[in-house]
Chains A and B, each alone.
Chain A
Amino acid sequence: MSKKKRSWIRFAILMVIAVAVVYTFIANAQSDNGLVRKGDMAKNFAVTNLVNDRFVLAEQEGKGVFINFWGTFCEPCEREMPHIESAYSDYEDQVEMIAINVDEAPLTVQSFVDRHDLSFPIAIDKRRELTRAYGVGPLPATILVDEHGQVQRYHEGEMTEAQIHEFFQSIVPDT
């Protein structure tokens, strides 16, 4: 066997190992317990909001959707609510929104909504089904879905007023 050929074989062996390892690492980095990430197609879901309207994500095609996961027990969620409320009134006609409460008693949620005078659609994920399926961890968490149903952003933690505006703006359809 020529020296050149041997070098190639050695190179090939090392490369096969390297590729397998890199693949494993990338695959591992991308699995965060079902966490959605930019570029994924958003998993379809249906929820019924507090005023008994059914919201199906797949039916929102053509419009961007602003999804906010929250809980009444979460102080950052509470702080960002008034900002979401005011931004929503600006973008109501261009963007759909659903705020998903993570499995709290309707009474608790309703009194929170009344206290903050929230007008955007709010639903309760009473079986924590969406929370699990979307891999939502710490609250608040915000998912931006564009008009094609593709996830544009997964944001974890409190948003500033400016950020909320920017987020709404980013999913306004181009036309």
Chain B
Amino acid sequence: MNNETIICECGHVNKVGTEMCAACGKPLTDKAQQEGVNMRYEGAAIRSKKRKVTLLDRIWGFFSSVKVGIWIIVLLLLASALGTIFPQDNLRPGLEEPAAFYEREYGAPGLAYYNLGLHELYSSWWYITLIIALGVSIIVASFDRGIPLYKALKAQRVTRHKHFMTRQRLYSKSTIAHPDDELTKVAEALKQKRYKVRVENGNILAEKNRFARWGPYVNHVGLILFLIGCLARYIPGMYVDTSMWIREGERAPIPETDSEYFVENRGFSISLYDEEDERFQEAFESGQSVVPEAFETDAVLYKREGLIGDGDLEMIEEKLIRVNDPLTFDSLSLYQTDYRLNELNQMTFTLENKETNETFGEMTINLIDPEKHYDLGDGYSVVLENYYPNFYMNSNNEPSTLNQIPDNPYFIFNMITPETPEGETSFVGIQQNLEPLGDNDYKMTFVDVDLVNVSILTVRKDLTLPLLIAGGTIFIIGLVQGSYWAHRRVWLQKSGEDVLIAAHTNRNWMSFQREVEQSVKDTALTPPKDQEEETDQDTKGA
């Protein structure tokens, strides 16, 4: 087979694989002759259905297949659902190790979830591959079907082959005296119904709402924009979703800004639902007693002027960051999402004589940035020799700290008094007071503690939103275009003594049939019958 075209008897040149001539509608294959024509793509050759030769054809053929497309969609749906079983890694609260979090919270299934990598599903290579495959499938299928359809609709002639007429679902044949007058009347009636009427040799083609045929393709354009938007999130600078912890009084660089922007927490406040309030009693019975009503951070935004490390901070903005009321700057937004209450901040001690219980002054240690020397007056002073914010014994069995957070502070003090000018060493932690170098005369006694709250802010930026909105809007337009209108065509044709009427649409056959009936009712022509219905009744009768 070397010929790439089929020349129809009407003279139109069709591609190999065409089921029905694009111009006159003559069925070109045996199958089409016997079973009736497939109107879906006007019987045009579906590009991928031609002989597959090259690798390119195979790839093209794979992605153009509707079956493959549906499989991709099903897989994507299943995968997306899988990702919602447990929270994704970036949405889980706290700073715990992910493995520990999933196991503690959800047990063995949680650990399996983590081990399978489902905690970062939406950025996994195979999920992205599926999204890309869907995009390719949509693009390829659109080209594969859209272009031949466009060409076929453009090339269609008014005069169709007799076979094409008889094979249509709505069809009738009438033998009348003055067909031309009657046809003109029908054409007028159809024009009244906003059909576009073309006349050729006295034959008529009337059609309306052809644009509805492009609905699915407009739809696809929207989807592709949407998918591009989804993929654009992986391009650096387009999408940020991370969090930062900031203590009251602290000033910290904002992630993703190259330490150019800083935020200061001037105070965190929270209001709780009143436990005594009658209205809430039912809710309190079922759950925990502390239910926040609102929480907010009094924040100040700074911009660094100068070098990283020692530049000056210039105040840009002050704002109360509330839930759903973020601080926004430079396309980044800081949202109030979580908090941690009562972190240790300052501890106050006094120096006490163990025998007399007499105390000598007070000293307050800032747990974030402690000082070394504390003068208590009258020859009494304390030197803070070492400090472990989050104490533990390390693998060498030496005192050490787990991190910088003062969750479990321990101090090594050197207490100097007139009686002990050499100093006495004391190792003090919460509820503990050790004397590692022998018995002391003095001890450090805990007096008071000052707590601060920690604000947890979500740092967010999404430049892909406009693309997602545009894609979604175009998708809906395509959907409306394809769903609320239907392409309707009516052919009227003289064939010797007879007048043939055929009509086609893809949906709402009843109203369409009525429309055609009304158009021919003032003439002697027989309104078209629904051939499918007749066949149904025949089968039922038999």
Q: How far is the CA of A108 from the CA of B389 in the complex (A)?
A: 9
Residues of A within 8 A of B408 (CB): none
Interface residues on B, range: 35 or more
Tell me, yes or no, whether A104 is within 8 Å of chain B by CB: yes
Q: How far is the CA of A30 from the CA of B235 in the complex (A)?
A: 9
A-B contacts counted at CB < 8 A amount to 127
Q: How far is the CA of A34 from the CA of B386 in the complex (A)?
A: 34
Are the CB atoms of B253 and A132 closer together than 8 Å?
Answer: yes
- Contacting residue for B236 out of A3, A17, A28, CB 8 A: A28
Q: How far is the CA of A17 from the CA of B131 in the complex (A)?
A: 12
Are the CB atoms of A127 and B252 closer together than 8 Å?
Answer: yes
Tell me, yes or no, whether A125 is within 8 Å of chain B by CB: yes
Tell me, yes or no, whether A119 is within 8 Å of chain B by CB: no
Q: How far is the CA of A132 from the CA of B309 in the complex (A)?
A: 11
Residues of A within 8 A of B369 (CB): 105-107
Are the CB atoms of A130 and B402 closer together than 8 Å?
Answer: no
Residue of B nearest to A6 (CB): B47
Are the CB atoms of A10 and B60 closer together than 8 Å?
Answer: yes
Are the CB atoms of A107 and B372 closer together than 8 Å?
Answer: yes
Tell me, yes or no, whether A41 is within 8 Å of chain B by CB: no
Tell me, yes or no, whether B29 is within 8 Å of chain A by CB: no
Are the CB atoms of B309 and A73 closer together than 8 Å?
Answer: no
- Contacting residue for A103 out of B255, B394, B404, CB 8 A: B404
Q: How far is the CA of A11 from the CA of B395 in the complex (A)?
A: 61
Residue of B nearest to A47 (CB): B309
Q: How far is the CA of A49 from the CA of B372 in the complex (A)?
A: 18
From 363 to 397 in chain B, residues with beta carbon under 8 angstroms from any chain A beta carbon are 368-372, 384-390, 394-395
Tell me, yes or no, whether A38 is within 8 Å of chain B by CB: no
From 106 to 145 in chain A, residues with beta carbon under 8 angstroms from any chain B beta carbon are 106-108, 110-111, 123, 125, 127-130, 132-133
Are the CB atoms of A73 and B253 closer together than 8 Å?
Answer: no
Residues of B within 8 A of A30 (CB): 236
Residues of B within 8 A of A163 (CB): none
Residues of B within 8 A of A25 (CB): 128, 234
Residue of B nearest to A7 (CB): B56
Are the CB atoms of A14 and B309 closer together than 8 Å?
Answer: no
Q: How far is the CA of A31 from the CA of B384 in the complex (A)?
A: 43
From 38 to 89 in chain A, residues with beta carbon under 8 angstroms from any chain B beta carbon are 43-48, 54, 56, 71-73, 75
Residues of B within 8 A of A43 (CB): 258, 308
- Pick the interface stretch among B88-96, B108-116, B136-144, B277-285: B136-144
Residue of B nearest to A106 (CB): B369
Tell me, yes or no, whether B337 is within 8 Å of chain A by CB: no
Residue of B nearest to A104 (CB): B404
Residues of A within 8 A of B304 (CB): 129
Residue of B nearest to A111 (CB): B386
Q: How far is the CA of A125 from the CA of B308 in the complex (A)?
A: 10
Q: How far is the CB of B364 from chain A (nearest CB, A)?
A: 15
Are the CB atoms of B255 and A132 closer together than 8 Å?
Answer: yes
Are the CB atoms of B387 and A44 closer together than 8 Å?
Answer: no
Tell me, yes or no, whether B422 is within 8 Å of chain A by CB: no
Tell me, yes or no, whether A13 is within 8 Å of chain B by CB: yes
Are the CB atoms of A13 and B143 closer together than 8 Å?
Answer: yes
Residues of B within 8 A of A13 (CB): 139-140, 143
Q: How far is the CB of B401 from chain A (nearest CB, A)?
A: 4
Tell me, yes or no, whether A19 is within 8 Å of chain B by CB: no
Q: How far is the CB of A66 from chain B (nearest CB, A)?
A: 17
Residues of B within 8 A of A160 (CB): none
Are the CB atoms of B309 and A130 closer together than 8 Å?
Answer: yes
Are the CB atoms of A21 and B309 closer together than 8 Å?
Answer: no
Q: How far is the CB of B312 from chain A (nearest CB, A)?
A: 12
- Contacting residue for A107 out of B252, B384, B400, CB 8 A: B384
Q: How far is the CA of A29 from the CA of B370 in the complex (A)?
A: 41
Q: Digit string of A135-160 for contact with B (CB within 8 Å is 1, else 0)? A: 00000000000000000000000000
Do A73 and B403 contact each other (CB < 8 Å), given the known contacts A21-B231, A24-B231? yes
- Contacting residue for B135 out of A11, A17, A28, A127, CB 8 A: A17
Residues of B within 8 A of A103 (CB): 404
A-B contact pairs, 16 of them (CB 8 A): A3-B4, A7-B54, A14-B59, A14-B140, A17-B132, A30-B236, A31-B237, A48-B310, A71-B404, A73-B389, A73-B402, A102-B404, A106-B369, A107-B387, A129-B259, A129-B308
List the 3 closest A-B pairs by CB distance, nearest first.
A31-B236, A45-B308, A133-B259
Known A27-B234, A106-B369, A132-B255; further 10 A-B contacts with Cβ < 8 A: A10-B56, A11-B56, A17-B139, A34-B258, A45-B307, A46-B307, A47-B309, A48-B310, A105-B387, A132-B259
